[in-house]
Amino acid sequence: ANILTLTEKPLINDFEKGVLSNHSEIEKIIIDLQKDAIYTSMTGSGSTVFGIFKEKPCLDNYRKYSTHVELFK
């Protein structure tokens, strides 16, 4: 099953809208992730931004945002 269909409701972070309107750097990261990811979001209040990908992404595309970029399977 697709992770996005495992729940009855869409996966939504209630803080995201407010955080993105006040922190454009986080919004830029999410917009960049959305180019390749099937789902993007931030954890909690935005300490981590993540994407879910069908194909293994090129992590070098995201190192401009942080030196801590990891791939989890």
* 45-67 residue pLDDT tens: 778 888 888 888 888 888 888 87
| Global pTM value | 0.73
Alpha-carbon distance of 44 to 13, in angstroms, equals 7
Asked whether 22 and 15 are in contact (CB, 8 A), the reply is no
SS3 label, residue 49: strand
Look at 8-22, 27-41, 46-60 and tell me which has the smallest mean pLDDT: 8-22
